[in-house]
Amino acid sequence: MRRRALIVGASRGLGLGLVARFLERGWDVTATVRKPSPALSDLAERGPLHIATGIDIDDDDAVLGFANACADGPDFDIVFVVAGVATQAGIPAGRVPRDVATAVFQTNALSPIRFAEALHGRVAQDGLIVLMSSKLGSVSLNRGGGWGSYRASKAALNTLARSFAGQHSGARWGVLLMHPGWVRTDLGGRRATLDVDTSARGMVAVVEARLGQRGCAFIDYTGATVPW
């Protein structure tokens, strides 16, 4: 039987790349987007792809509606919440508008955990909930600062994910916080060192190898541990 992945935030960038790679690996993929994405729809010719539109992870009603719609379907081996933003990331925390920093926190930290809370009942035995973090969210690696509100939002995601894993310590699945590398996307910019395909190949290999492992880990697209 094909393994099943749910990719959340798949319209472009890393989410889109992950869908392509999971399909290439023979997985059955469900992908969520806020608005229709022609690039995502084009991937349907590569394998079994189910697309759910109108899923904004900041919208609790949309997320709960999606969770309810999944209730009668088979479980997912991987639920991968990829969606994230870096709005005005270059503006220092002392000057970034409060509502912008708050929105970044909502999307990058709170909403992925709420999504995981809503969907964890649909994760298969030995499955994984993967949340897209960033090395910038590592507190111990932060020497020079920069990208303050984004950094803080990913550090908050890591903390919330460890709490989530702790609160579900008897669960039949594990939790991974993933650093995808520095990748050329709208968010990563043109100077980034990796292309989407290289990062997505690495991440899919890493999560396939970690199926069945419980607990909570922070790792990168090569499988290396990232310090908290």
Give the interface with ligand NAP as residue ranges (CB under 6 A): 9, 11-15, 34-35, 56-58, 82-85, 107, 132, 134, 180, 182-183, 185-188, 192
Who's near 159: CB < 8 A, 6+ residues apart?
none
Whole-number minimum distance, CB 99 to ligand NAP, in Å? 15
Of 43 and 83, which has the nearer Cβ to ligand NAP?
Answer: 83
Whole-number minimum distance, CB 55 to ligand NAP, in Å? 6
Whole-number minimum distance, CB 70 to ligand NAP, in Å? 16
Of 7 and 165, which has the nearer Cβ to ligand NAP?
Answer: 7
Do 82 and 10 contact (CB within 8 A), yes or no? Answer: yes
Who's near 205: CB < 8 A, 6+ residues apart?
223
- Give a three-class secondary structure readout of 118-178: HHHHHEEEEEEEEEECCHHHCCCCCCCCCCHHHHHHHHHHHHHHHHHHHHCCCCCCEEEEE
Of 127 and 181, which has the nearer Cβ to ligand NAP?
Answer: 181
Whole-number minimum distance, CB 137 to ligand NAP, in Å? 8
Of 34 and 122, which has the nearer Cβ to ligand NAP?
Answer: 34
Of 61 and 186, which has the nearer Cβ to ligand NAP?
Answer: 186
CA distance 89 to 50: 33
As a whole number of angstroms, the longest Cα–Cα distance in the chain is: 52
Of 79 and 82, which has the nearer Cβ to ligand NAP?
Answer: 82
Of 13 and 127, which has the nearer Cβ to ligand NAP?
Answer: 13
Whole-number minimum distance, CB 9 to ligand NAP, in Å? 4
CA distance 183 to 196: 6
Do 78 and 128 contact (CB within 8 A), yes or no? Answer: yes
Whole-number minimum distance, CB 1 to ligand NAP, in Å? 29
Whole-number minimum distance, CB 89 to ligand NAP, in Å? 9
Who's near 30: CB < 8 A, 6+ residues apart?
4, 5, 6, 7, 49, 50, 51, 52, 76
HSE-up (13 A, CA, CB side) for residue 177:
29
CA distance 150 to 218: 17
